[in-house]
Amino acid sequence: MVVDFIDVEQGDAELLRSGGAVMLIDSGTPESGTAIRLFLKKQGVEKLDYLVLTHPDADHIGGAASVITNVPVGQVLMPDYTKDNEIYQGVINALNYRNLKARAPQTGETLTLGDCTVKVLGPIDH
């Protein structure tokens, strides 16, 4: 497995690759979308098997609309709570544009990523 931490100035974006499969976790701020797409292109990534959006804060989902609109995505995973703001709505609009539906993964679920498995650790209710 190869893990890249993408410099998105503020927020988070990580790229996981294993056995030809690709997962992007989060997408930084809205200004990060182009930088992420350029990074994917430089790495030879033409599609994402998974786009994981950990929570709907702007510094985690900001670049997602740009990524979804411009890069083929197999599955979008995100929690089932929403935010009432323009950035979250942009992600929903991009999903609709690509005829994609996001789903909330279950705690303990495992995802196959090429030669590896990725286990969902949360959310955990306290």
13 within domain boundaries: yes
Total domains, the chain? 1
92 within domain boundaries: yes
> How far, CA to CA in Å, does 53 sit from each of 3, 42, 78, 115?
17, 22, 5, 22
> How far, CA to CA in Å, does 63 sit from each of 18, 67, 91, 122?
23, 6, 9, 23
Domain residues for the domain of 107 are 2-119
CA distance 16 to 27: 13
CA distance 124 to 107: 7
Distance of CA 111 to the CA centre of its chain: 14
124 within domain boundaries: no
Q: 112: domain CATH number?
A: 3.60.15.10
Tell me what pLDDT residue 11 has.
81
29 within domain boundaries: yes
Tell me what pLDDT residue 83 has.
84
What amino acid occupies position 96?
Answer: N
55 within domain boundaries: yes
Tell me what pLDDT residue 84 has.
86
Residue by residue, pLDDT tens for the chain (126 residues) are 999 999 898 888 999 999 999 999 999 999 999 999 999 999 999 999 999 999 999 999 999 999 999 999 999 999 988 888 899 999 999 999 999 999 999 999 999 999 999 999 987 764
16, burial (CB in 10 Å: exposed 0-12, middle 13-18, buried 19+): buried
Tell me what pLDDT residue 125 has.
63
40 within domain boundaries: yes
